[in-house]
Amino acid sequence: MKFKKIAALAATVVLSVGIFAGCGSQQTSSSNKKKVIGFAQVGAESGWRTAETTSIKEIPKLDSNFELKFSDGQQKQENQIKAIRSFIAEKVNVIALDPVVETGWDTVLREAKNAKIPVVIVDRNVKVSDQSLITAFLGSDMEEEGKRAAKIIIDKFGKDAKLNIAELQGTVGSTAMIGRQKGFNETIKNCPNYKIIKSQTGDFTRAKGKEVMEAFLKSDGNNINVLWSHNDDMAIGAVQAIEEYGKKPGKDIFIVSVDGTKDMFKLMADGKSNGIVECNPLLGPQLLDTSKQILSGKLKDKIVHTKEGAFTQEQAKKELPNRKY
């Protein structure tokens, strides 16, 4: 009888240790479990975008406690919304969104909030009815970029010059397009003879930028003094169109664009462009840092703007070797 009691007691002890250890191991494994960031990217429309994707995909190399789930939205909002819903279903720790356009996000971001998943808006911004849907924003001041682009033109020609400007707009409804256009137009208000005679979207791509510039040149080629392009890729397409039209880009037509890609710096070093406003795509480290702060409950700043510069043709050759994207 005594032996049986001891055996039963021993079995109970083993079982409870096992369960505890199991819990403990679950506890340990969950604390060792990697943190997952789900990133809903705009697409792959430009050199800038590719550089941003590369930078964010490198997060797990910067910190092996983090894993990245990536979705390419192919420049369609419905794809990005689907991606966010799948991240919610997969119970990621943080959702990062680079929104193709500013509006139409309230419903899906409320679903993320109800699932208690923090959302970090990266690069472009969103317009939502309830700011609590967004935990943090990190990216550029796009209005400032537009102002800097206008300033390069004013510094070159003076505010009293008579200038006809052709504008290649970015993706309609995106923060980059809205902000840059606003900043540029506000700055040239003080230049009574600056006229935007052509303005159309090239959707941030080289192909569309070339196509739209061809149409501008066909209808008014001899009257365009300046090309203002919301990004480098459309300007690169436009340079091809200008050359095929028989004019000299950077000489017959003064060209200013935004991003600061290597390809654009090469064109500017060759004298085919005149000004570049930098927009930093290397947001991976900042997204990792912001995610860590959020997950440890110590978010420092809800809004973080990236630091950027502006460059003219004279600076191109010297700056080109420094370009990281």
Toward ligand GZL, which CB reaches closer, 67 or 308? 308
Radius of gyration of the chain (CA): 26
Toward ligand GZL, which CB reaches closer, 88 or 256? 256
What phi and psi, each to the nearest 5 degrees, are found at residue 266?
-65, -45
Toward ligand GZL, which CB reaches closer, 124 or 151? 124
Total number of residues that touch ligand GZL (CB under 6 A): 14
Q: Does 105 bind ligand GZL (CB under 6 A)?
A: no
Residue from 123, 143, 167, 214 in contact with ligand GZL (CB under 6 A): 123
Min dist. Cβ of residue 231 to ligand GZL (A): 4
Residues 144-203 that bind ligand GZL (CB under 6 A): 176
Q: How far is CA 315 from the centre of its chain?
A: 25
**Strand extents, DSSP E, the chain:** 35-41, 66-72, 94-97, 119-122, 136-139, 163-169, 194-201, 226-229, 254-259, 275-278, 303-305, 310-312
Q: Does 102 bind ligand GZL (CB under 6 A)?
A: no
Output the CA angle 305-311-315, nearest 5 degrees.
145
Min dist. Cβ of residue 33 to ligand GZL (A): 32
Q: Stretches 9-17, 40-48, 114-122, 152-160: which one binds ligand GZL (CB under 6 A)?
A: 40-48
Sheet holding 35-41, edge to edge: 66-72, 35-41, 94-97, 119-122, 136-139, 303-305
Min dist. Cβ of residue 111 to ligand GZL (A): 24
Name residue, tokens 């005594």: 2
Q: Which residues bind ligand GZL (CB under 6 A)?
A: 45-46, 48-49, 123-124, 140, 176, 204, 231, 233, 258-259, 279
